[in-house]
Amino acid sequence: MSSKAPAETQGASRFTLDFRTLGPFVALALLMILGTMINATFISSANLTNVLTRSAFIGIIAVGATFVISAGGIDLSVGSMAAFISGVMIIAMNHFVNTVGVNWTTVMIGMGLSVALGLAAGLANGLVTTKGRIDSFIVTLGTMGIYRSLVTYLADGGTLSLSFQLRGIYRPVYYGSFLGIPIPLWAFFVVAVIGWIVLNKTRFGRYCLAIGSNADVAAYSAINVDRIRTLTYVVQGLCVAVATIIYVPRLGSASASTGVLWELEAIAAVIIGGTALKGGTSRLWGTVAGAIMLSMIGNILNLTDAISQYLNGAVQGVIIIVAVLVQRSGKGR
Partner 1 sequence: MKRVLGILLVLVLAAALFVPGQVLAQDQVTIGVSIPAATHGWTGGVNYWARVTADRLQEQHPNINIVLLTAGSAGEQANDLEDLVAIHNIDALVILPFESDPLTDPVDFVKQSGVFVTVVDRGLAREGIEDIYVAGDNPAMGRVSGEYMVEALGGEGKIVILRGIPTVIDNQRFDAFMEVVDETDIEVLDWAYAYWNRDDGFEVMQDFLARFPEIDAVWAQDDDIALGVIEAVKQAGREDELFIIPGAGMKEVIARVMEGDRLTPVNVLYPPAMIATAMEVTALVFVSDAPFMGTYIIDSPLITPENAERFYFPDSPF
Q: Is 77 helix (H, G, I), strand (E, B) or coil?
A: coil
Per residue, the 3-state secondary structure of 244-271, as one string, reads HHHHHHHHCEEECCCCCCHHHHHHHHHH
How many CA atoms does the CB half-sphere of 79 hold within 13 Å?
A: 19
Say if residue 276 is exposed, middle or buried (CB neighbours under 10 Å; 0-12, 13-18, 19+): middle
Binder among 1, 15, 99, 156 for partner 1 (CB under 8 A) = 156
Supply the minimum distance, in Å, between the C-beta of residue 153 and partner 1.
9
Ranges assigned E (strand) in the chain: 159-161, 177-178, 181-182, 253-255
* Cα gap 105→141, rounded to integer Å: 35
* Total residues in contact with partner 1, by rule CB under 8 A: 30
Query: Within positions 247 to 306, which residues make up the interface with partner 1, using CB under 8 A?
Result: 250-251, 253, 255-258, 298-299, 302-303, 305
* Cα gap 308→203, rounded to integer Å: 50
141 binds partner 1 (CB under 8 A): no
Binder among 20, 54, 229, 283 for partner 1 (CB under 8 A) = 54
* Nearer to partner 1 among residue 154 and residue 225 (C-beta): 154
* Nearer to partner 1 among residue 74 and residue 245 (C-beta): 245
* Nearer to partner 1 among residue 207 and residue 262 (C-beta): 262
Contact mark string toward partner 1, 6..45, x via CB under 8 A: ---------------------------------x-x--x-
* Cα gap 247→61, rounded to integer Å: 12
Binding site for partner 1 (CB under 8 A): 39, 41, 44, 46-47, 50, 54, 152, 155-159, 161, 175, 250-251, 253, 255-258, 298-299, 302-303, 305, 309-310, 312
